[in-house]
Structure 1
Amino acid sequence: MTEAAFFDVLRQALWVAVKISAPILVVALVTGVAIGLFQALTSVQEMTLTFVPKLAAMLAAFWISMGFMTSSMTALYGDVIIPLIEGG
C-alpha cells in the first residue's frame, strides 16, 4: 500500500466517523442549549437537570440513527477496507 492510498483510506474513515457522530453531537448540543436557556430563565441550577435529559436525548438519537450508522460503516468496509485486504 502506498502512502497516498493509506492517507486516502484514513481520510475516508475519518469522514465516516464525522458523519456517524454528527446526529448524536447535534442532539446533545441542541438539548444542552435548551436546558441551559431553561436554567437561566428559571434560575434552577440542578446538575441532574442537565445530565438526564441530555442523556435521554442522545440515546434516542442513537436509536433513531442506528440504521444510518450501520449502513455507513458497512459501506466503508465493503467499498474500501475489504478490497484492500483482498488485494494484498
Structure 2
Amino acid sequence: MTVDEVMAIASSALFLVIKVASPVLLVSLVVGLIISIFQTVTSIQEQTLTFVPKVISIFLALILLGNWMLTELSGFMVELWSDFSRYVR
C-alpha cells in the first residue's frame, strides 16, 4: 500500500465525515440563529432558551437523515473492506 493510497482513503474519509455531519450542523446553526434573533428582538437573554429547540431540531434531523447517513457510512465501509486484500499485500 502506497502513501498515495493512504492519502486517498484518508481524504475520502474526511470528505465523508464533512458530508454526513453538515446537514445536522446546518440545522443546529439555523435554529440557533433564529432563536438568537428572537432573543434580540424580545430582549430575553436566557441562556437555556436555545438548548431545547436545538436538541429537538437535531433529533428531528437525525430521524429524517439518519437512513441516508447510515447508508453513506456503510457504503464507505463496504468499499474499504472489499478492497482489504489489496491493502494488506
Give the alignment's TM-score, normalised by structure 2.
Answer: 0.92
Deviation per CA, 1:10-46: give whole Å up to 9, x if none.
0010011011101100000000000000000000011
User: How does 1:33-44 map onto structure 2 within 5 Å?
Assistant: 33-44=33-44
Q: Name structure 2 gaps, 5 residues minimum.
A: none
Cα displacement (A) at 1:73: 0.6
Q: What corresponds to 1:31 in structure 2? A: 31
Report the 3-state secondary structure (helix = DSSP H, G, I; strand = E; otherwise coil) of the residue aligned with 1:44: coil
> What is the TM-score when the length of structure 1 is the normalising length?
0.93
Q: 2:8 matched to 1:8?
A: yes
Quote the RMSD (CA, aligned, Å). 1.0
The percentage of aligned residue pairs carrying the same residue is: 31
Structure 1 unpaired stretches of 5+: none
Q: CA deviation at 1:49?
A: 0.7
1:83 Cα deviation after fit: 2.7
Cα distance in structure 2, aligned partners of 1:26 and 1:72: 18
Return structure 1 stretches of 4+ with deviation > 2 angstroms: none
Residue 55 of structure 1 and its aligned partner are, at CA, apart by: 1.0
What SS class does the counterpart of residue 6 from structure 1 fall into?
helix
1:70 alignment counterpart: 70
Q: Give how far 1:70 is off.
A: 0.6
